[in-house]
Amino acid sequence: MQQPRGAFAPVPTPLGDDLLFDPAAQAAHLRWLASEGLDGALVLGTNGEFPSFSLDERRVVAESAAAAGSGLQLMLGVGSCALPEVVAMLGVAADCGYGSVLCPPPFYFRSAPVAGVAAFFREVLDRTALPVLLYHIPQVTGVPISDDLLDLIGHHDRLAGVKDSSGDRDEFTRLAERFSDGAYFVGNDHLVRDCIEAGGPGSITAAASVSPRLVRAVQAGEAEQGALDQVRDLLEEFGLGPSVKAFLKRMGFGEYATRPPLGELEPDRANELWDRFNRL
């Protein structure tokens, strides 16, 4: 089993003004990321707004990314609270040649017993031949990838590691140590260099969608973490998801509209963001 490695971008899912998926914009963005030296892309993660799309739509998005021929390592987010939908997306990932998958816990069931969440993940691991990263983003899901949960899941050949988007240094320490022999991927730009120095194989961070060369350089030790911190701070100030979409629209990749209940940056705010980014 070949594990993912390198700097990944959690790419947004582009929508036109009609709020329908725009495959041309997706392909253009993926190819640009590859031309900038990025290693991979996560499709249908949190920044990809996967809960906003039906199962059929997610299947189309995943197939389109694979057909783009970007040359990037592709990881597919298979998240859903419905286990049959997760299994269906596992099949899509395998059929389309994805290298790995990312699976969050069943986030609607926040009071589910830990044993039930472990059974959910064991089923996912049993039903795929691809490396699986568990998705630790408790500030969104409300269901942490805890040590108790990992103990109950136990060893599994397809459990490659974890993507840690908590942004918490204590969680970074805990999970990096727990997966020291596997794949600990950091999901926060502020911790990219720390992750590499701790032996982690890579990162999946929002800034990689708009500053791929910088993220790759920080990961390789060729640029200072502080430069990436400034970009991340700016994105967070304006709203992480809306900021990335505003950048990609300004760069001419597509409209990058957003379905409710999520929103977009107002034009004046988008202009201010662009100007401040270019002054960094």
Q: Which residues are marked as active site? A: 46, 108, 135, 163
Residue 279 CB: number of other CB atoms within 10 A? 7
Element (H, E) at 27: helix 23-35
Tell me the β-bridge partners of 15.
21
The token pair that represents 268 in the structure block = 């004046």
Amino acid at 261: P
Distance CA 74, CA 66 (A): 8
Distance CA 192, CA 173 (A): 13
Secondary structure tally for the chain: helices H, strands E:
12, 8
Distance CA 211, CA 214 (A): 5
Distance CA 70, CA 76 (A): 15
Beta strands, E only, the chain: 6-10, 40-43, 73-77, 100-103, 132-136, 159-164, 183-186, 202-204
